[in-house]
Amino acid sequence: MGDPVRKSKKYERPKKLWDKKRIEEEGALKTEFGLKNSRELWIMQTILRRIRREARRLLSGKGANAEIRSTQLLARSKKFFVQKEDLTLDDLLSLSVKDVLQRRLQSIVVKKRLAKTMHQARQFITHGHVSINGMHVSSPSYLVSFAEEANVNWSGKPLGSFEKMDEKPAVVITEKTEPVAASG
């Protein structure tokens, strides 16, 4: 039995934690993509940082089995981040944090117009109303591959008024009537 294995962190904290410019940029990204806290952004930045680091190592030719590792990195990146036939390692270096954040389930739900806002999409996902390939996914930070993107849909019966977000509700205009004074 022994002691439980301690999980390693999925993210790296910024070196300057109280840098004003970085905090403002992160705040803008958090509001744009409906993130709960900075930790979610740091996780996505760490994913991107690891991809870039590996691409730089492969371009410099360091390490054994560079050819195999480069094909694996390119295949993984084609699956999740870049939908391009002739992808190169230089293309991976040009990826941005927005590219990674747009592949989150929360962003895909808004993109497919299953929700009106990022916050609403987050709520639908955490409450179990969204599925991928018929499987419930309750994590808004789930990275959706390009193959799975077409299969993101409601789980079970769609919620009442959110079945089709493209249609706008009809506006009903009623005429105002003036109050009639009571005769006394």
CA distance 92 to 81: 9
Q: Find the range with the poorest average confidence among 92-106, 116-130, 156-170.
A: 156-170
Q: What confidence score (pLDDT) does residue 156 get?
A: 81
Burial (CB count <10 Å: 0-12, 13-18, 19+), residue 69: middle
Mean pLDDT of 40-52: 96
Domains of the chain as residue ranges with CATH: 9-102 (no CATH), 105-177 (3.10.290)
Q: Which residues contact 80 (CB under 8 A, 6 or more apart)?
A: 103, 143, 144, 145, 146
Q: What confidence score (pLDDT) does residue 61 get?
A: 85
Higher pLDDT, 169 or 157: 157
